[in-house]
Structure 1
Amino acid sequence: MSRSSTRLTVVLTAAVLAAVVAWHPAEQLDPVRRAVGLGPERPLPAPSVVQQNGTFTWAMTQPGGDDPVAWDPCEEIRYRINPTDEPPGGSELVHRALDRASAATGLAFIDEGETDDRPFPGGVKLFGRPDPVVIGWADATEYPDLAGQVAGVGGAVAERSSGDRLRFVSGGIVLDVEAFTATTVAQQPRVMEGIVLHEVAHVVGLGHVSEPMELMYASNTGQVELGPGDREGLARLGSLPCR
């Protein structure tokens, strides 16, 4: 083989390897991609983490440790809204709550439109991709967790990624039709938006706290703003490194 043809073979081989590294979906190649400058980038800048005199807890922690389970900040969080039984202005509440969560975490939420799917799909994957977060309205007959004074339930689905660590990939929020009525949305929009934001924070990775001044207090008594612990916890979840 001539020297020139050898060089051509080397160039072609390098090109093929580069393509494999760049486009192969295997998580094992993530360190290689990052080493050659092909690693993922955040769609939004990471928030500043400021230690505050507040209280926060994680919805889920990594196996054998106290580190939180969170979303990959270099991937957009896809969501869809099921409009069945939606009160007038319901979607606007959801969009505003998601905007506030995005500002607090630096995570990007992408609206993929309406869906017939119900919340909490159980992490089923469609065409190799995790299901989007589904947000909808229902009653206690369909979701017993809404019984009593519960106005909403939210949570995320985790799967194992590289290094045997967990990360959130899907989730759902169901809002009680008895709490989210045309009257309450029209007369108490900030309170109802705060309830939605509380559930979004569960999806992002925060748990309940025992401090009534935090939005993540288990019972809503009229809170409409994130408390100091809420803000710090959300910022920490959003500032974790990409997987």
Structure 2
Amino acid sequence: MNRRLVGRTVAVAVVVLAAAIGVVAVTRGGSSDDASTTTTTPATHHHDETTTAATVPTSSTRPPPPTDERTAPIGHPPPLPAGAADLHEGVDYQFLTYQPDDHTRPVAYDPCRPIHYVVNERTAPAGAMPILKQAIAEVSRATGLEFIDDGTTTERPVEKRVLYQPERYGKRWAPVLLAWSDQAELPLLTDDSFGSGGSYGVPVDDGARSLYVTGEVAFNGPTIETDAATFAPAQRESRMRAILMHYVAHVVGLTHTGDVRNILYHGHDGRATSWAPGDLAGLAAVGTGRCYPTV
């Protein structure tokens, strides 16, 4: 059974209040994502297949400044393992999108505020929710970013998500949506794909930089459940956790690599179950963005 690990890394190219959504498709045992990016950065090695426009609010319809912004980063990435500091972006790990004014730095979340998320459990396999929490905790530890569970939602994944939904979530950026979905709801999730995910951003510093404010993942619940059933019970949990870690890592700003040891490997199928040095170096980098208390 040859599953495809579709990583629709929702890339952010925030220029003129528009966010480009890049679609990254990955095949177990090999990549099928060969088209170039349409972002405004020179990140042409990102394997974006299609793009569309996110519904990004104008300055008059953005939420007020966050109420949970701290004066300093909430956490910090842990020290990297020996040798990881010598790894290189673009080779050992890859950013989803780069800053407009610095093509060596990633677009990232504000580390001085928590990342809120909600979950749509519609097609979640039995026992998947605790495993998802574990996957989020692994990303949090590796980045220093804090995640807060805001509960469940009926919001469904779409290609053009609205980033500010005050009628549903109050006067704040919409929380990250982690939706258990299927092909009937999102055609991108074919019966041989595990899911898709990434983040959206808005321009800051008069357009010189970008900031992630929310994201979304659509997990293909039926396919993940079918895949898990092909493994012995002792392997199912670790395999599912690794697949979910892959997608949550897309949310915080990493895309695929060519290193088979990495959970962010473009053909990752859950067999690598812990972060490799390249993963850790990339996660540490996206965990050290700037703080923006007024955005």
Global fold match (TM > 0.5): yes
Which of 214, 222, 244 is the aligned partner of 1:178? 222
CA separation of 1:241 and 1:85: change in aligned 2, threshold 3 A: same
How far the C-alpha of 1:241 sits from its partner, in A, is 3.3
Residues 11-160 of structure 1 aligned to structure 2 (within 5 Å): 40-48=71-79, 50-53=84-87, 55-63=92-100, 65-66=102-103, 67-119=105-157, 121-126=161-166, 127-147=170-190, 149-160=192-203
Inter-partner Cα distance in structure 2 for 1:152 and 1:51? 31
How far the C-alpha of 1:234 sits from its partner, in A, is 0.3
Cα RMSD, aligned residues only: 2.4
Q: 1:194, 1:224 within 8 Å by CA — same for their partners in 2? A: yes
Inter-partner Cα distance in structure 1 for 2:146 and 2:108? 13
- The one-letter code matched in structure 1 to 2:131 is L
5+ residue gaps, structure 1, are 1-24, 28-37
Which structure's CA Rg is the greater one?
1
- The one-letter code matched in structure 2 to 1:63 is P
CA separation of 1:216 and 1:156: change in aligned 2, threshold 3 A: same
Which of 201, 210, 216 is the aligned partner of 1:166? 210
Identity of aligned residues (%): 30
TM-score (norm 2): 0.65
Instruction: Provide runs of 4+ in structure 1 moved above 6 Å.
Output: none
Range 196-205 or range 65-74, more displaced: 65-74
TM-score (norm 1): 0.78
5+ residue gaps, structure 2, are 1-63
Inter-partner Cα distance in structure 1 for 2:142 and 2:65? 31
Higher normalized helix content (fraction of residues): 1
Q: CA offsets per residue over residues 163-187 of structure 1, 9 Å max, x none?
A: 4211111111111122222782783
CA separation of 1:116 and 1:26: change in aligned 2, threshold 3 A: closer
CA separation of 1:163 and 1:39: change in aligned 2, threshold 3 A: farther
Range 216-225 or range 98-107, more displaced: 216-225
How far the C-alpha of 1:144 sits from its partner, in A, is 2.2
CA separation of 1:216 and 1:153: change in aligned 2, threshold 3 A: same
Inter-partner Cα distance in structure 1 for 2:126 and 2:86? 37
CA separation of 1:69 and 1:183: change in aligned 2, threshold 3 A: closer
**Alignment-derived partner of residue 21 in structure 1:** none
**Alignment-derived partner of residue 225 in structure 1:** 274
